[in-house]
Amino acid sequence: MIAMLRLLLPAALLVAGGTAVSADSRGFQERQAAKDQADLAKQLAGLVPGRPQECIQQRNYNDTSRVGDTILYKFNRNDIYRTDTNGGCFGLRRGDAIITKSYTGQLCRGDIIQTVDLVSRVPSGSCTFGPFVRYRKP
């Protein structure tokens, strides 16, 4: 009986600890998603979304910013393209380099993005572009 208790007690503590960590990470993810939505709303404030496009010209944008799994390509402060990735680019949030291969001079929906750590040069994830939605000042 005591031997069985010695086996079951650590297993029960492990399960309880895992549940607590899982609940905490879920809370963190919810807080992060709310922060991302607020940041996106701030960056796109005053701009009106247009129709989704399949591609944008790669050389025409001046700046990019990242919010969670979203990349904003800024042509100027009143003309921004938003694309949501399919997830998997874990380095987007921490500022890793974005590597794309384009043979047409365009970034297109479905193109593969790879993120690479700037210090170690180790790939940190890959994902694909979603449609590009243009946000403009009315």
Q: What is the mean pLDDT of the chain?
A: 84
How far apart are the C-alpha atoms of 82 and 66, rounded to whole Å? 10
For residue 73, what are its two tokens? 């390509």
Residue type, position 126, single letter: S
Q: Which residues pair with 19 in a beta bridge?
A: none
For residue 101, what are its two tokens? 């291969």
For residue 30, what are its two tokens? 């919810």
Write phi, then psi, for 102 (nearest 5 degrees).
-130, 130
pLDDT at 8: 55
Compute the average pLDDT of residues 52-61. 89
What global pTM score does this model have?
A: 0.76
